[in-house]
Amino acid sequence: MPTYNEGDRIFDNLIKAWHTFKKFRFPFEILVIDDGSIDNSIDEIKRASSLHCEIKIIENKINMGKGFALKNGFLNASGDIIVFLDSDLEIAPFQVGNLLKAMRDNASEIAIGSKRHKESNLVYPFSRKILSTGYYFIIKLLFSLPVKDTQSGIKAFRRDVLDEIFPKILCKKYAFDVEILANAVRKGYKIAEVPITIVYSRNNNIGRIRIKDIIDIWIDTLAIWYRMKLAKYYDK
């Protein structure tokens, strides 16, 4: 669970996630990667960790981006199944169970939540839907991926998939998900798309996304396309 400046909610969210995963009746750990927060996030994560040993903190001293945080989390994880879950819990943690079931039922190595699934329920600003749809068409054009949503904040992977893919992953920010999934498809891994429910919780219609973030994700996406299609970097 990557987090950045979520001090006002991170304690309650971690406790909620812990209680949810405890009901699954299998061993788990919650790795919270603080990506250089400058609020009280660290103290609140440590407070949650002091209550439940399964909650563990990993600190990035400076803000590096969501992709970097998730990669750092994976390098410190011990499980056979790795789940990425946004710490704002706009996607409630019980939905992790739906992804694990989809992996089992579809014999897939990866399961991802999809905002564009026909059965998904989105309490979500229209402006975010426009951004998501536009990015989907660009990804479809550049990579022909057999998935409709690369950017949702919930994904599950078999560990050996990430063991193979991560050494070549370069993106540190939001295009990180595209780089992982594009390489997983190239290597023949099966991806199951699962409907999700999202309840938007930010105070504005685009959340933390800034113009700079939109520019960065386009630059990073084109860089992935160049590395994959022209430089053949991932084949080396």
User: Looking at residue 80, what is its pLDDT?
Assistant: 96
Are residue 96 and residue 74 in the same domain, yes or no?
Answer: no
Are residue 37 and residue 129 in the same domain, yes or no?
Answer: no
User: Looking at residue 2, what is its pLDDT?
Assistant: 96
Are residue 115 and residue 69 in the same domain, yes or no?
Answer: no
For the record, the structure tokens of 59 come out as: 């600190």
Angle at 182 between CA 194 and CA 5, to 5 degrees: 70
Sign for the pseudo-dihedral over CA of 128, 133, 138, 142: positive
Domain end call among 29, 53, 79: 79
Are residue 57 and residue 90 in the same domain, yes or no?
Answer: no
Tell me: the pLDDT tens digits for 37-71? 999 999 999 999 999 999 999 999 999 999 999 99
Domain end call among 58, 79, 100: 79
The boundaries of the domain holding residue 31 are 1-79
Mean pLDDT of 128-134: 84
3-state secondary structure of 193: strand
Q: How far apart are the first and last CA of the chain?
A: 31
Q: Nearest to residue 1, comparing CAs of 51, 43, 41, 47?
A: 41
Are residue 45 and residue 91 in the same domain, yes or no?
Answer: no
Are residue 1 and residue 61 in the same domain, yes or no?
Answer: yes
Question: What number of CA atoms fall less than 13 Å from residue 9's CA on the CB side?
Answer: 13
Are residue 228 and residue 121 in the same domain, yes or no?
Answer: yes
Domain end call among 79, 98, 129: 79
Split into its structural domains, the chain has a count of: 2
Mean pLDDT of 17-44: 96
Are residue 147 and residue 181 in the same domain, yes or no?
Answer: yes
Mean pLDDT of 206-225: 83
Are residue 51 and residue 147 in the same domain, yes or no?
Answer: no
Tell me: the pLDDT tens digits for 79-106? 999 999 999 999 999 999 999 999 999 9
Are residue 179 and residue 207 in the same domain, yes or no?
Answer: yes
**pTM of full prediction above 0.75:** yes
Output the domain CATH number for residue 87.
Answer: 3.90.550.10
Are residue 66 and residue 121 in the same domain, yes or no?
Answer: no
Q: Above 80 in pLDDT, residue 233?
A: yes
Are residue 190 and residue 111 in the same domain, yes or no?
Answer: yes
The 3 state secondary structure assigned to 168-179 is: HCCCCCCCHHHH
